[in-house]
Structures are given as C-alpha cells and as structure tokens.
A and B are shown apart, each in its own frame.
Chain A
Amino acid sequence: EAGVVQSPRYKIIEKKQPVAFWCNPISGHNTLYWYRQNLGQGPELLIRYENEEAVDDSQLPKDRFSAERLKGVDSTLKIQPAELGDSAVYLCASSSSPPTQYFGPGTRLTVL
C-alpha cells in the first residue's frame, strides 16, 4: 500500500514569494490533515479536511495561508507571501480511522 505522498521534499524561497505544497493521501482515506513542525517541536495542526470540506481551520493563518482539497483526494497548501517565520516542515497526514493518522515525509521550507 502506497503511503502519503508529498512534494516537493525541499523548497527554498525568498521572503514575500509564494509557495505551494502538494499532498496525495492514502487511497480511501477521507480525512486529510496539514501540520506545521518547527525545529525541535512537535507538529501543530493547521487544517483538517473531511473529504473536500475544511472542517477545522482555526489554526490556519488565513491572511497568507490557503488550502484546498478538490474532489476530496489531493490537497494543496499555499503560502502567499511567505515570511521568514514560515520556515518549517509542512506535514500532510491522512486517516480512515481517526485518530490513527498516517503521515507523509513532509516538505522542508526555508524562507531566506
């Protein structure tokens, strides 16, 4: 069974530039999560989808972050414009039996 796929694995951009991350969850998993993990800390939830509906985005900085999950499968997370403090690892996870979640490898974002 294929795991959660994320791309790119690494991204380096200058501040004020836009950036997007892509996630393909495990087939059949209706629940999809985006987390942000700062260096030395545990992951923090940004947004949760049930199928194509964002049911919890209270931790998503909506002034610069956006996400979508068209057709309830793949998802993208976008930052525009990026700030220095956005440097972190962005993790995608999916689940069919919450709260057991399966995580992707993450995208390491560096904002210069």
Chain B
Amino acid sequence: DAKTTQPTSMDCAEGRAANLPCNHSTISGNEYVYWYRQIHSQGPQYIIHGLKNNETNEMASLIITEDRKSSTLILPHATLRDTAVYYCIVRVAWKAHAGNMLTFGGGTRLMVKP
C-alpha cells in the first residue's frame, strides 16, 4: 500500500473552511484515497473516499490532484464538533485484496477554535 504523509496538527477557526492535506506520492493506479476521522473517545468514522475525481458528500469534499500524488480534505464550515484526528489512507478497493485492511498512520489532529 502507498504510504501517506500528513501534518501532525492543524488549527482552524470555527465557521471557516478546514483544508487538510495528504501526500501519497507512491499511490498506484488502482488505489483509492480514504479519509476517516476519530473524535476523542470514539471509534474512527468514515468520511469520504475517491479515486481520481473530486468527491463531495454531506460531510466533506475531497480534492485529488491530477497526478493523484496528493489530496485535500475540505470541511467547508468547521464547527467545534469537527475537532478530531483525521486519517488519510490509501487502499485498493477490491474485496478480495487482503480484506481491504485499513492501515492507519498518525493522522492530523485538527483543533477547531471558537
């Protein structure tokens, strides 16, 4: 699996957009970019995933560069409840491929401040 690099921590003002970067320069053509987050004392929560096109859902937007070597998770209007550790994970999406285990790195600790 391709490795990912994320900043250790970031701050964001409440109500502003939070832009969380992730580098995955060794990503393969069949690997997706997944984002999960973990709020304190809770289990990780799936946010969004994408292959090459930008994706948007009710939680966030995912922007993947054209060369797919990096991506940005965007929380358009961050709230205090978005304070969490955000994990960027690169993984193939075949069910038969090693169970599609998720390998979590250290993630980015996002602090949303009033």
Contacts and interface: CB of A to CB of B under 8 A. Distances in A.
Interface of A: 4, 31, 33, 41-45, 48, 50, 55-56, 91, 93, 95, 97-106
Given A99-B34, A104-B43, A105-B42, A42 B99 contact: no
A105 B60 CA distance: 22
A93 B42 CA distance: 12
20 contacts: A33-B101, A42-B87, A42-B104, A42-B105, A42-B106, A43-B44, A45-B101, A48-B99, A50-B99, A55-B99, A91-B43, A98-B100, A99-B32, A99-B34, A99-B100, A100-B49, A101-B102, A104-B43, A105-B43, A106-B43
Contact of B99 (A31, A91, A103): A31
Contacts, number: 59
Contacts of B41: 105
Interface in B79-114: 87, 89, 91, 93, 95, 98-107
A101 to B, nearest CB: 6
Contact of B91 (A31, A50, A99): A99
Interface of B: 32, 34, 41-46, 49, 87, 89, 91, 93, 95, 98-107
Nearest to A55: B99
A43 B104 contact: yes
**5 nearest CB pairs, A to B:** A42-B104, A103-B43, A99-B100, A98-B100, A48-B99
Contacts of B46: 100-102
